Structure 1
Amino acid sequence: MLRNLANAALFQLGWFSCVLGGNSAWLLVSLAIFFVHLRFIGSWQTEGKLLLTVFALGCVLDSALIKSGVFDFAEAGRVIPLWLALLWPLLATTLGHCLAWSARPWWLASAVGAIGGPASYIAGSHLASVQLPLGLWPSVLVLGAIWAVVFPLLHWLALYFRRAPVSEASA
């Protein structure tokens, strides 16, 4: 219970430091959170592949959302900002801990994703220099549909990597 509370608090701290700090020294807070999480709550052996996979998938998804005009950043670039990219492995740290309750049944993960995903993007758009060119409600609907699929997929990945045997080389 205490680890789940610490996990939730660390995630929120990381979310705010990324969204409010942008691409600044505040990103070091996220690095510290990864260190604390992997040292005291999870471990690199059990969650490392999940963190890297979710990071990569999230960068692809958010890049596609930018290219499709769902959201826009003041700073133009070919890749998503680092602060946005770091939110993905931060989210991954919660899948086996404070958000593990939302994994089963699949429809619960889908419902949590459909609500929580857009809520995070909308909150971030109000706090960071992110625009929603489609408007608020069309963005909520698009993001809700996407996250209704993405969040159960992330939980499936977390389960997959938890069940995968740890090889001697990575231990």
Structure 2
Amino acid sequence: MLDLKLLANAGMFQLGWFACVLGGNSLWLLLPAGVLLVNGLWISARWTEVRLIIYVCLLGTLVDSLLLNAGVFEFRQEGILIPFWLMLLWALLATTLNHCLAWTARPAWRAVLLGAVGGPLSYYAGQRLGAVQFGFGL
């Protein structure tokens, strides 16, 4: 049976992904902020979800900022941290982990495989849409 909340969760993530990647640091970021708000209203275990969002956002920001400073990523704006829109994108990803992507948690190889394939594909799509460039001639 199709769970409409899971479908809505996946759809809202995709909507937020496109708003972040195509909108950059603009008013388009109100859309993914709204997605985070709606997600918060739907979830009964709000504090558990908020902690997960903070953890994933901080970890993603740290790793991507290290990659930025190592020259793997190049963005339009200068700085030692990734752009705000990418931080917001990490927060959006966190909203899917216990919901539409919960099926990847067990066995763990599913999450590893999805991250190993989906992560680079997401960055590749972002590069094709002009949101990020790859350093080192990648």
TM-score class normalised by the smaller sequence = over 0.9
The CA distance in 1 between the partners of 2:44 and 2:102, in whole Å, is 13
Q: Which structure is larger by alpha-carbon Rg, 1 or 2?
A: 1
Corresponding residue of 1:76 = 78
Alignment partner of 1:15 is 2:17:
yes
Give percent identity, aligned residues only: 54
CA contact (8 A) 1:22 1:128 kept: no
Which secondary structure state, in structure 2, belongs to the residue aligned with residue 74 of structure 1?
coil
CA displacement at 1:134 relative to structure 2: 2.8
Distance in 1 (alpha carbons) for counterparts of 2:44 and 2:95 = 8
Name 1:59's counterpart in structure 2.
61
Other-structure match for 2:6: 4
Which residue identity lines up with residue 109 of structure 1 in the other structure?
A
Structure 1 gaps, min length 5: 137-171
Change (3 A) 1:104 1:88: same
**Does the Cα contact within 8 Å between 1:37 and 1:43 map onto a contact in 2?**
no
User: What is the distance in 2 between the residues matched to 1:50 and 1:27?
Assistant: 21
Q: CA deviation at 1:42?
A: 5.3
Does the C-alpha gap of structure 1 residues 57 and 42 become closer, same or farther in structure 2, counting only changes over 3 Å?
farther
Measured on the aligned residues, the alpha-carbon RMSD in Å equals 1.3
> What is the match of residue 26 of structure 2?
24
| 1:129–1:10 distance in 2 versus 1, CA, 3 Å | closer
**TM (normalized to structure 2)?**
0.93
Number of equivalences: 136
Deviation >6 Å, runs of 4+:
none
CA distance in 1, matches of 2:120, 2:37: 28
Alignment-derived partner of residue 126 in structure 1: 128
TM-score w.r.t. structure 1 length?
0.75
